[in-house]
A and B are shown apart, each in its own frame.
Chain A
Amino acid sequence: MTLDPGTAIALSVSVGAASTALALLPATAIAWVLARREFRGKAVLSALVMAPLVLPPVVTGLLLLRLFGRATPLGGALAALGLPVTFSTFGAVLAAGVVGFPLFVITLRTAFEAVDRRFEEVSMTLGVPPRQTFFRVTLPLALPGLFAGIVLAFARGLGEFGATTMLAGNIEGETRTIALAVYALLDAPDGEAQARVLVGASLALSLAALAAFEALNRWQRRRLELDGHARS
């Protein structure tokens, strides 16, 4: 079996980065809405966003296949635009993005909720309208949370397996990320050594991401002055 661990690692990193970039705007918007707005159907929206966290990834993949398969209107339209979802790198990006989305939203929502509304109120009384107040006060104060969400979504996307197999298959150089490569190598007679490299890379990337997440959480607490210090 020909399988280059370097290709799988590079592909995982690219898929993880692309899926996180794709999720950035919708995750930020939804996290803000869930943190700051009360409306009918909020619980439904929250459940819908969080679903991939608890659904078996294979089921998420199957649902994505029903939504984006070539025979569906959405999948057909995307294929016509040159972005086929099934058995393509774009499919792997989409699967990783959807499965990492809840972690992104929940982290950023918590950060937005931790920003005291009075900072936004002061900004508005000083004459700064809500949209500018978001970019000048809310987002800068929640910035560590935004980075933490990016790190978590990226790390989750790196290791995506179930939904990716269902939607994008296991194609060397296109959709065979680290997790899929390890799975493929288990069947190969001489895959042990390559698998070990990939497992090592996976461990290193995941632990680095978690360390970054912890550091960002500490920064978030300092930024909002939540850690105890004299206020006389």
Chain B
Amino acid sequence: MLDLDLHLPLGANTLAVRLASPGPVLGLLGASGVGKSTLLRVIAGLDRRAVGTVSALGEGWQGPGVFRPPWERGIGWAPQDAALFPHLSVLDNLSFVSARDVHEIAALLRIERLLGRMPRLLSGGERQRVAVGRALACAPRLLLLDEPFAALDHALRAQVRADLAAWCGKRALPAVIVSHDEADLDAFNAQVWVVEADGVRQR
């Protein structure tokens, strides 16, 4: 599903990443500030400082003389701090690309009653779920989730991640999930790689 062979400059350090994940869901675990989010941005094609190759879904996305721009990768990215479009309602955020499945996705993430609201009126956990919904609604071929459940309380967190895992499983939608909580990754049966200062290793 995903192959990375990269050198990623992070401040004074360089993170060496050699990773092959054949399964549908890859989990990235590690302390904060170690470069997990940056790695996700590299996979999205947003961070071009990394030197090396990125292959996903059997296609070359980055390599010598190759760079596929973000808008041609078919990804759905939910950044850690949501970054909801502040000028659009929750419904308009979700249907930014397509209005198909929006109500089903809203029900999945328990955000139906928020559809008419503007992002500035949402709590942190609500924003994160809308960001995940927005990523799902663009009909991605690969989902990139950055700490998607971090701001949710315990009970809701378990429910939402189980339902989201089932949704992805039913549609055979591959995903890369960044989390510092192993329970999040296990809910998706993710193949877990641990990111550390000197590189990555499989758990």
Chain A contact residues, CB within 8 Å of chain B: 116, 118-119, 121-130, 136-137, 140-141, 223-225, 229, 231-232
* Structural contact, B86 and A225, CB atoms closer than 8 A: yes
Whether the Cβ atoms of A223 and B86 lie closer than 8 Å is yes
Determine, out of B54-62, B68-76, B190-198, the stretch whose residues face the partner at the interface. B68-76
Task: Find out whether the CB atom of B138 lies under 8 angstroms from the CB atom of A122.
Answer: no
Chain A min CB distance to B127 (Å): 8
Contact across chains for B134 and A124 when beta carbons are under 8 A apart: no
Q: Once bound together, how far apart are the Cα atoms of A216 and B73, in whole Å?
A: 38
Given A118-B83, A122-B83, A223-B86; A127-B124 close (CB under 8 Å) = no
Across chains A and B, the number of contacting residue pairs, with CB separation under 8 Å, is 68
Q: What would 13 A/B residue contacts be, using CB atoms closer than 8 Å?
A: A119-B86, A121-B44, A122-B85, A123-B85, A124-B46, A125-B45, A125-B70, A125-B73, A128-B97, A137-B85, A140-B87, A141-B85, A232-B123
Q: For B72, what are the chain A residues with a Cβ–Cβ distance below 8 Å?
A: 127
Q: How far is the CA of A229 from the CA of B86 in the complex (A)?
A: 13
Secondary structure of the A side of the interface? helix
* Residue B79 CB within 8 A of the other chain: yes
Chain B, residues 39-60, CB within 8 Å of chain A (1/0): the string is 0000011100000000000000
**B120 an interface residue at 8 Å Cβ cutoff?**
yes
Q: Which residue in A122, A128, A129, A140 is a CB contact (below 8 Å) of B77?
A: A122
Give B contacts to A, CB under 8 Å.
44-46, 69-77, 79, 83, 85-87, 96-97, 119-120, 123-124, 134-135, 138, 144
Q: Are B86 and A126 in contact (CB under 8 A)?
A: no
B95: shortest Cβ distance to chain A, in Å? 11
Q: Please indicate the chain A residues that have their CB under 8 angstroms from the CB of B70 in the complex.
A: 121, 124-125
* B120 lies within 8 A of A127 (CB): no
Closest B residue to A140 by CB, please name it: B87
- Seed contacts A118-B83, A122-B83, A232-B123; 20 additional CB < 8 Å A-B pairs: A119-B83, A119-B85, A119-B86, A121-B46, A121-B77, A121-B79, A122-B77, A122-B79, A122-B85, A125-B44, A125-B45, A126-B71, A126-B77, A127-B74, A127-B97, A129-B69, A129-B71, A130-B71, A137-B85, A225-B119
